[in-house]
Structure 1
Amino acid sequence: MAHVVVLGAGLGGTIMAYEVREELSKEHKVSVVTNGTHYSFVPSNPWVAVGWREKDAIEVDLRPVMQRRDIDLYSQGAKRLHADEKRIELNDGTSVEYDYLVISTGPELAFDEIEGLGPEANTQSVCHVDHAIQAKAAFDKLLANPGPVIIGAVQGASCFGPAYEFAFILDKALRDAKIRDKVPMTFVTSEPYVGHLGLDGVGDTKGLLESELRNHHIKWITNAKVDKADEGMMHVSEIAEDGSVKATHELPFVFSMMLPAFRGVAAVRDIEGLTNPRGFIIVDDHQQNPKYPEIFSVGVCVAIPPMGKTPVPVGVPKTGFMIESMVTATAHNIGKIVRGEKPDAQGTWNAVCLADFGDSGIAFVAQPQIPPRNVNWSSSGKWVHLAKVGFEKYFLHKIRSGKSEPAYEKLAMQALGIQKLKEVRFDIEDA
């Protein structure tokens, strides 16, 4: 009997457990180690932060779902991975041993790398649902006392889509409250240009997003290094191509949401041969670690080198479609190994994204994610907002039901259809 443990129960870890359970016969054991008992749909956090969603609407209690699928759930959380012993030390002092491990922890949020950054200091976040709830309280204060707003992503960030999303969602919420005219907005990003997204752009994301920012009266600063965030004042250095300081900005704010850089979680960091210097998991084409072949990894915690040198460091995002592709390949490969065969599946590593702007949005498809690409397409329209709402319903239903069909693959096929048909028919009732 083989024991497969999935470490982490976010987007990648939850569906990883479902798919590997289906891949293996019943005599093999599947377990999940995570902090807490609930799955939360992170892409909905920007809506939570302006009061368009409640926390319980985007969460799923994993206990009954895992029990129905014969998956053991350890909700104590992991204190430390002991890779040489094939053992995970849990936070309550107990341990879980494994034959095969899939690390899908997601990232640790590196707020501490910049003075004053983060929900425990002077800026807000939408990276976690509890952060989004705290941002909602700050948003309510903004409604009562309007003033300048700063939205964006700091140096080293690798997830830019939610920053753009939140800027436009906040704009819509302020317009609905009829106080947008009292709230000057600035978008501050480490990207070398608007729409870079950590991918050197996809299709015309530069033109589309610059146009959207102009149309929504949002100023921007690119190549931005946030030096510190005091209460009510952000200190930003704008970096030139040669690495020198082109300009400095003292930006007042009454509300700010800045996405941080990511790093690997403490439980797996600094394990030689397993992680890179930032704590992300090193994998080969089969999602398998070279030093510890019994360890696989999927999702945001996987190490991917940046696209190239930029004046301010930016990382590479891992979109949902890419993560699902990693998951399916990993489940297949673990099944092959358990049956005495060699792994042969590789994830496609394509990028498909819907960025909701509250009443419209932008979608893009990069196939593959790293250039040169076979598909390099982006488009905008009100259909993106509707598709995002429908997809939220679809994916939450998938988690609640324990289904393992690839939701992002369906999304990708819809998006690729737009390229040919210049329209989308996303059936929300089926979602």
Structure 2
Amino acid sequence: MPVPKIVVLGAGLGGTIAAYELRAKLRDRAEIELVGNSEDYWFVPSNPWVAVGWREPEAIRVHLPPVMKRHGIAFTAAGATRVVPGENRLELGDGSTIDYDYLVIATGPDLAFDEIPGFGPQGNTLSICQTQHAAETHRRFEELCANPRPIVVGAAQGASCYGPAYEFAMILDTELKRRGVRDRVPMTFVTPEPYIGHLGLDGVGDTKGLLESEMRDRHIKWITNAKVIGVDAEVMHVEEVDEDGKTKRAHDIPFGFAMLLPAFRGVEAVRGIEGLSNPRGFILIDKHQRNPAFPNIFALGVCIAIPPVGPTPLPVGVPKTGFMIESMVTATVENLGEIIDGKEPTHEASWNAICLADFGDGGVAFIAKPQIPPRNTNWAAEGKWVHLAKVGFEKYFLRKIRRGESEPFYEKLALHVLGVKKLRFD
């Protein structure tokens, strides 16, 4: 009797560890295939370091084909151009198709740079969202150090990932000081958040106070409730809105170097499919990570639809952190195991968040349980230990990915941090 085929679409954080966990859980009871758009996995949390030359791209790369082969997981890097859920198949970038019995969508987002004139790597701003973007940003950073000019860092309206923007602003400050040119580089932080440290989570612990203090200490000016209207070659046009979303002030900010995180949307392969995705292309799921319209499709990670924590004057999305994604992976794998055994799915993800925001010479860490308030654990702290913790986690995580090992990476990190700080997580 043939075994069911499970296809995992997306070879980033969620998709890669989902493939590992499915193989470990189901062994020879299912055929597993991973579909990516590249043969390489990149450790995205290290991209801010790549952008200032603290890491070479090769140091955070894992070449996937040999790892997948060792673990009996089929792999293709052709990418998908369309999901056809009514026929249980994927259309691939090379013109071929893959049939599936079960599909796990873990594509991550499409980066919506095109929604703002002049925005993004093809326009007038830089990016750290992908490692190749970060490598180009490093080249431009070296030019900036040779010819110091103003910097703009932050996020555009609709973004749902703010930690890396804060990280990059502080890392830039640290490296510019080391090179002795910080005094010639004014810096402005631009964000749609209603206040500094909101993070799409309505704050965690005292992230507002901690991050505002860091910015004051580092002489970084900020504009909140900021809507980016357009970006010219050396000027960013920003409208600052009031609580009702009405423009109260216009800013034309000159820059010689600008990096803003974009809004996310679902990838083209899933956009516009009724019942599968919402108007932004994010996958609709129930509490078991399963799509209500197509129950043999599961989804996890940044590609899923999550409502915001509350109303804000500008769109501020909710981040899907590594800890949260890991929990979604485990719930999905356990539920697929139950379905293959002829049972109903029972597992639900615990949407908790842990973040280590490295500033190069220190950092801020926070843990939110659950991610959406009110919370049982609502904690944030700062110190040089955060930088050391992130360096250690990078090495640990990459080693595990290169070996194809499936275990709760982020859960172990959270328990370690909380153990060090004498806090409870159970």
Per the alignment, in what secondary structure is the counterpart of residue 167 of structure 1? helix
Note if 1:270 corresponds to 2:272. Answer: yes
Per the alignment, in what secondary structure is the counterpart of residue 154 of structure 2? strand
Q: 2:261 aligns with which of 259, 262, 270?
A: 259
- Tell me which residue corresponds to 1:339: 341
What TM-score, normalized to structure 2? Answer: 0.98
Please report how far the alpha carbon of residue 359 of structure 1 lies from its aligned counterpart in structure 2 after TM superposition. 1.3
> Which amino acid letter does the alignment assign opposite residue 235 of structure 2?
M
Q: 2:140 aligns with which of 130, 138, 141?
A: 138
- Tell me which residue corresponds to 1:425: none
The 5-angstrom pairing of residues 122-271 of structure 1 reads 122-271=124-273
The 5-angstrom pairing of residues 306-345 of structure 1 reads 306-345=308-347
Q: 1:406 aligns with which of 405, 408, 419?
A: 408
Please report how far the alpha carbon of residue 417 of structure 1 lies from its aligned counterpart in structure 2 after TM superposition. 2.3
Q: 1:115 aligns with which of 106, 117, 135?
A: 117
- Tell me which residue corresponds to 1:49: 51
Between the aligned partners of 1:391 and 1:237, the Cα distance in structure 2 is 39
- Tell me which residue corresponds to 1:40: 42
Long gaps (5+) in structure 2: none
Between the aligned partners of 2:275 and 2:228, the Cα distance in structure 1 is 32
Between the aligned partners of 1:252 and 1:243, the Cα distance in structure 2 is 24
Between the aligned partners of 1:61 and 1:264, the Cα distance in structure 2 is 25
Per the alignment, in what secondary structure is the counterpart of residue 308 of structure 1? coil
Please report how far the alpha carbon of residue 23 of structure 1 lies from its aligned counterpart in structure 2 after TM superposition. 1.2
Q: Is the CA contact (8 Å cut-off) linking 1:377 and 1:419 kept in structure 2?
A: no
Note if 1:58 corresponds to 2:74. Answer: no
In the superposition, relative to structure 1, how do residues 246 and 336 fare at CA in structure 2: closer, same or farther (>3 Å)?
Answer: same
> Which amino acid letter does the alignment assign opposite residue 361 of structure 1?
G
- For 1:116-152, what per-residue CA distance to the aligned partner results, in whole angstroms no more than 9, with x for missing partners? 1101110001000010011011101101100100000
Between the aligned partners of 1:157 and 1:407, the Cα distance in structure 2 is 26
> Which amino acid letter does the alignment assign opposite residue 78 of structure 2?
Q
- Tell me which residue corresponds to 1:82: 84
Per the alignment, in what secondary structure is the counterpart of residue 24 of structure 1? helix
> Which amino acid letter does the alignment assign opposite residue 360 of structure 1?
G
Q: Is the CA contact (8 Å cut-off) linking 1:365 and 1:415 kept in structure 2?
A: no
Q: Is the CA contact (8 Å cut-off) linking 1:155 and 1:225 kept in structure 2?
A: yes
> Which amino acid letter does the alignment assign opposite residue 246 of structure 1?
K
Per the alignment, in what secondary structure is the counterpart of residue 25 of structure 1? helix
- Tell me which residue corresponds to 1:291: 293
The alignment-based identity, stated in percent, is: 64
Between the aligned partners of 1:207 and 1:68, the Cα distance in structure 2 is 48
Please report how far the alpha carbon of residue 12 of structure 1 lies from its aligned counterpart in structure 2 after TM superposition. 0.5
The 5-angstrom pairing of residues 372-383 of structure 1 reads 372-383=374-385
Q: Is the CA contact (8 Å cut-off) linking 1:368 and 1:375 kept in structure 2?
A: yes
Between the aligned partners of 1:409 and 1:57, the Cα distance in structure 2 is 24
Q: Is the CA contact (8 Å cut-off) linking 1:39 and 1:60 kept in structure 2?
A: yes
- For 1:45-101, what per-residue CA distance to the aligned partner results, in whole angstroms no more than 9, with x for missing partners? 000000110111000000111000000001111011101000000011100110000
Please report how far the alpha carbon of residue 419 of structure 1 lies from its aligned counterpart in structure 2 after TM superposition. 4.2
> Which amino acid letter does the alignment assign opposite residue 16 of structure 1?
A
Between the aligned partners of 2:14 and 2:370, the Cα distance in structure 1 is 19
Note if 1:367 corresponds to 2:369. Answer: yes
What TM-score, normalized to structure 1? Answer: 0.97
- For 1:146-195, what per-residue CA distance to the aligned partner results, in whole angstroms no more than 9, with x for missing partners? 01000000100000000000000111110111000000000000000000
Between the aligned partners of 1:9 and 1:186, the Cα distance in structure 2 is 35
Please report how far the alpha carbon of residue 367 of structure 1 lies from its aligned counterpart in structure 2 after TM superposition. 0.3
Between the aligned partners of 1:242 and 1:55, the Cα distance in structure 2 is 43
Q: 2:72 aligns with which of 67, 70, 73?
A: 70
Between the aligned partners of 2:99 and 2:302, the Cα distance in structure 1 is 24
Between the aligned partners of 1:30 and 1:350, the Cα distance in structure 2 is 28
- Tell me which residue corresponds to 1:23: 25
- Structure 1 runs of 4+ aligned residues shifted over 4 Å read none
Please report how far the alpha carbon of residue 418 of structure 1 lies from its aligned counterpart in structure 2 after TM superposition. 4.2
